[in-house]
Amino acid sequence: MKIGLMGASGVALLMGIAGLGATAHGQERAAQDQSTQVEEIVVTGSNIRGSALDAALPVEVYSQADLEKQGSPTALEFAKSLTISGPTTGESYYFGGPALVGSVNYNLRGLGADKTLVLLNGRRMNQNTANVPSIALARTEVLKDGAAVIYGADATGGVVNFITLDRFVGLQAQAQYKQIKGSKGDYSVGVMGGIGEDRVNLLVSAEYEHRSRLNTMERDFTKASLTPGTGYNPAPWSTLTNLTGWIPRGALPATPSATDVGEWGPAVGGIVSDFTPASCAAVGGRYDNNFTCAYNYIPYYRLVEKQDIYRLYAQLKAQITDTMKFHMDASYGRVTLPQVMGSPAQPVSRGPALATGAVNQFYVPITNPFAAEFAAKNGIVGAQGFTPITYRLFGHGGNPYYSGGDGFGVADRIDNKVWRVSAGLTGDLGDLAPFAKQVGYDFALTYNDAYNYNTHADTIGYRLQEALNGFGGPNCRATDLDPSRFGTQNAAAAGKNGCQYWNPFSSSFKGQPVRGLANPNYVAGKENPEDLALWMFDPRAVETLSHNFTADLVFNGRSGIQLPGGDIGWAIGAQYRSLASRVNVPSAFNNGSIQCEWPSNTTSANGAGSGNLSPTPLPTTDPNFRGCTPDAPGPFVLFAPTLPSQAEQSQYSLFGELQVPLFSNVDLQLAARRERFSNDLGATVYKVSGKWNVWGPLTLRASYGTNYQTPPLGVTPGAITVAARTYTVAASNWLAAQFITDTDLKPETAKTGNVGAIWQSRGVADDHRFRLIVDYFDIRTKDQIGQVADPNQIASLVFNGAGGTITTCDVAKQPLLARITFNNGCAVGMSGVGSFSAVSTRYGNGPGQTTKGFDIQASYGLPLGEGDLDISVTATRVTTLRTGPTTLDGVTISTGDDRLGTLNFATFAQAAPKLRANLGVNYGLGRQNFRLGVNFVSAVQDERAGVQYGETGEDWVTADFTYRLQLGEDMALSATVANMFDRDPPPAQEEFGYDPWTGNPLGRTFEIGFKKAF
């Protein structure tokens, strides 16, 4: 309820200030015959007016006109092209978080998107920039320095400020189409209109952007994983499949207990394989042993998913009086993806068995007709049932049902909406006192709202067990006759009256549908029915609603104190921010209502003489333990439940800034901010910056400041979240990772420094223009919030013997053993492949990191023939990227990692190239413009142990060419060839065979653009 009230209050305040502006304008309009334009200057990184290019702070400016000469790149293309950007979300990368697909989050300096502040016209906006009105932008300013002292928390890495047109009159339309091999192409349309040439201007715009699907099999670099052998990419292979080995079991014990024998009965034979090397290879599998026919899941995925992006924008500007201006803007963005394709089913890290782990979790009784056929086929006599070593609901053969025939994986659905409204008054109060001259004010209210909907389906483990017993399907209503064993026990009702059997064997699927490979073990008529298959999934839908309201009040002016360089300028202000979030989880399977693998309306015993009890989260040593561990794992085979939550936070801050012109050529800026949060957290930060015009063309600048960031809103101390991670010692299989939130989280802090030089002069001739900017940056974070130790590193330290094996099972010698969920206990010499199902780690204040390097901007312009030639270079050379030491449970996980130039698999593939550079050669010839762009990203090394696919990486060099023709004053056409030489992205041992957060899977593309003014 409070969230709704906060949102309503924010909107009411905004409407109030809009009403104030309208009233004042009405009162003045009759008295004013002519409008007087008050100069408006938006400066990123300061509350004192000035010029961004010549300021003491390092700011890059990208005008919309310059971007049009590049073919008007999309928001994702622009974000990934910035040389100061780290890995950037937005591409269709299921493994990096499907909820982020299509939503561009800026990640300056590679510190994380949560440490880059995004602004629209100098006011806060959502990290998801889908509502940025690209058609209405005038320029984009990127502050490459920490700015918490000016804007508050979240600005450690820098600031991206989108600035719209000051005013627009008329009507403008634009459209683009990009031809992509193997795809229907991407396209966009936009229209903008404006009225009001006098004191009031209203601008509105609407945009639509569409991306078409691009399947993985349309690119050769993904096919490098298809054929096992020397030099192939093993990343997208899983040993957890539906082609497995089965253990024949004797009679079920009268009373089950928490071991595989105690629950399913003794083994009455060795492993019986459901495949041969030949039949495994026939469906595209990799024969590892008699219980593992690994499968490659990447054919089921897509490099680009179908997505639609909608944007609406409205802006009202009014000159109320000679000294007062009103600005109001509202923006809306929506990103929808009907599918983000994943694997046919999630791997099993736990199941409905009383024993923990991932093996022997399911049981197929011999009364299951498919089990009887399997026994007869393999000459097995006397078995009363079978348990799989491991089992996955779908793998080989795909999932023909979940996506309604549109693909063969389990697709997530994404629907993200963001909207924002901001209104403000700026003006001059005049001289108030000797120390307060030319006082200006800036008052604004800003409200941001975000709605994020996503699904992330998983298998309901107990329903699969019910189906194996013959009690599956949405219409099964059989009565349980044995309360001593979980599930429905009623032999006479199995497979009847709406109750269905599941066929877990290789006879159930025709073949690999994407590659057209036939399954020699398939038996027509033995397929599993659609309604039964769908009944065993839950979409795990989650709605996240977040709101934030900001009130800013800033006064600025001149002090009247004269220094050799002029008056001391000042700014003081206050800011109030309130934040709220709510997570809604409609499904009882996913919202914690079902805490355990089995629901509470079913019971089981655990050993002779024990009671028939419902499952309750308890230690395995508790006499009432019924298979449900203390972490309340829920009913899914991989993911933990998503608990509904609600959180609120408010923030109050006071800040001040001084501009001190020591001399005519030396300026200093001093700023400080005190911020307090409602959860008793707070910080005081400061910043000192200066600029010295040494002589004529040479100017030096420097800055030093502190920054901070509070724990993310909604983080609950002690909470456990579960995600999937890939483990090197487990043959790169995706298994569970538990993240347990620390109870003593504190804000992370950072120190940032910058020293730079600006040279601006004529070139070799008087009509040549030369500019060179070199900045050295140094950023050091402390107590950085995130995973304290990487699950993959933990597993590698436990399985640290030859070939990834266990060297000790003594917790006193290796405390990290307690963080491993073993399938069948620990044994010295045991391999990491197939022996564990999950690793737990901490989420809290971990080691900080240090990043240093140089930013370079250079440009040279000259007249050439009948036109003008401009050459520009932008580059970032990182010289240091190092994390601090990490310990967990008294064990040194890392003494400090040198992350520079590596793929950084320990940080979930956050690649850190040493050098990124962009070269632009532009020639303007009257109404024609020719531009050649060359983009460079240096190679990264895969730091994982052993030999990896694409281990040394490759430099990523692409070239783009754009031709633009201005037809009269009101029409322009453009044509772009991107990636002219059709370069594949550098190889990497990741699922798609490349790094989607850095590279681009499209290959050479052809794009045409049209712009028309009316």
DSSP 339-364: EEE--SSPPPS--SSSS-SSSS---E
Range list of H helices, 526-626: 530-535
For residue 41, the model assigns a pLDDT of: 42
Lowest mean pLDDT among 20-34, 62-76, 383-397, 626-640: 20-34
Q: Are residues 240 and 282 in the same domain?
A: yes
Phi, psi of 523 (to 5 degrees): -125, 115
377-398, pLDDT tens digit by residue? 999 999 999 999 999 999 999 9
Q: Are residues 489 and 501 in the same domain?
A: yes
pLDDT of residue 25 exceeding 80: no
298-326, pLDDT tens digit by residue? 999 999 999 999 999 999 999 999 889 99
Strand partners, 770: 761, 860
At 528, is the secondary structure helix, strand, or coil?
coil
Q: Are residues 765 and 738 in the same domain?
A: no
Mean pLDDT of the chain: 90
Q: Are residues 966 and 921 in the same domain?
A: yes
Model confidence at 543, pLDDT cuts 50, 70, 90, reads very high
Q: Say if 223 falls within a structural domain.
A: no
Q: How many residues are there in the chain?
A: 1014
pLDDT of residue 4 exceeding 50: no
Per-range mean pLDDT, top range of 80-89, 663-672, 890-899, 941-950 = 663-672
pLDDT of residue 33 exceeding 80: no
For residue 946, the model assigns a pLDDT of: 81
pLDDT of residue 364 exceeding 90: yes
For residues 986 and 994, the answer to whether their CB atoms sit within 8 Å is yes
Q: Are residues 878 and 923 in the same domain?
A: yes
Q: Say if 441 falls within a structural domain.
A: no
**DSSP assignment of 915-983:** EEEEEEEEEEETTEEEEEEEEEE---B--SSS--TTTT---EEEEEEEEEEEETTTEEEEEEEESTT-P
For residue 55, the model assigns a pLDDT of: 63
Question: In 10 A of CB 865, how many CB atoms?
Answer: 8
For residue 120, the model assigns a pLDDT of: 96
Question: In 10 A of CB 179, how many CB atoms?
Answer: 14
Q: Are residues 998 and 952 in the same domain?
A: yes
Q: Say if 958 falls within a structural domain.
A: yes
Q: Are residues 876 and 913 in the same domain?
A: yes
Q: Are residues 892 and 832 in the same domain?
A: no
For residues 284 and 228, the answer to whether their CB atoms sit within 8 Å is no
For residue 954, the model assigns a pLDDT of: 94
- Cα-based angle 581, 723, 542 (whole degrees, multiple of 5): 35
Please count the structural domains in the chain. 3
Query: Rg for the chain (alpha carbons), in Å?
Result: 31
Amino acid at 498: G
CA–CA gap between residue 40 and residue 606 (Å, rounded): 75
CA–CA gap between residue 840 and residue 817 (Å, rounded): 10
For residues 552 and 575, the answer to whether their CB atoms sit within 8 Å is yes
CA–CA gap between residue 672 and residue 686 (Å, rounded): 4
184-215, pLDDT tens digit by residue? 999 999 999 999 988 999 999 999 999 999 99
For residue 43, the model assigns a pLDDT of: 55
419-440, pLDDT tens digit by residue? 999 999 999 988 777 778 789 9
For residues 672 and 653, the answer to whether their CB atoms sit within 8 Å is no
CA–CA gap between residue 667 and residue 688 (Å, rounded): 11
For residue 852, the model assigns a pLDDT of: 96
For residue 909, the model assigns a pLDDT of: 53
50-99, pLDDT tens digit by residue? 544 456 788 899 999 999 999 999 998 999 999 999 888 777 777 766 77
CA–CA gap between residue 87 and residue 420 (Å, rounded): 26
pLDDT of residue 17 exceeding 80: no
Q: Say if 183 falls within a structural domain.
A: no
Q: Say if 216 falls within a structural domain.
A: no
What CATH number is associated with residue 873?
2.40.170.20
Domain that holds residue 269: 236-304+349-389+456-538+587-634
pLDDT of residue 838 exceeding 80: yes
pLDDT mean over 704-726? 84
Cβ-Cβ contacts under 8 Å for 832 (sequence gap 6 or more):
727, 729, 730, 731, 795, 799, 804, 805, 806
Q: Are residues 794 and 806 in the same domain?
A: yes
pLDDT mean over 978-996? 94
**DSSP assignment of 349-414:** S--SSSS-SSSS---EETTSHHHHHHHHHTT--S--EEEESS--SSBTB--SSTTTTS-SS-EEEE
Q: Are residues 895 and 853 in the same domain?
A: yes
pLDDT of residue 907 exceeding 80: no
Q: Are residues 942 and 984 in the same domain?
A: yes
Q: Are residues 834 and 880 in the same domain?
A: no
Q: Say if 264 falls within a structural domain.
A: yes
pLDDT mean over 999-1010? 95
pLDDT of residue 630 exceeding 60: yes
For residue 91, the model assigns a pLDDT of: 79
pLDDT mean over 275-302? 96
Q: Say if 576 falls within a structural domain.
A: no
- The domain boundary, picked from 825, 845, 865, lies at 845
For residue 49, the model assigns a pLDDT of: 62
pLDDT of residue 7 exceeding 60: no
Q: Say if 504 falls within a structural domain.
A: yes
For residue 87, the model assigns a pLDDT of: 85
135-170, pLDDT tens digit by residue? 999 999 999 998 889 888 788 889 999 999 999 999
pLDDT of residue 35 exceeding 70: no
- Which has more confidence, 630 or 459? 459
For residue 13, the model assigns a pLDDT of: 43
Strand partners, 572: 555, 656
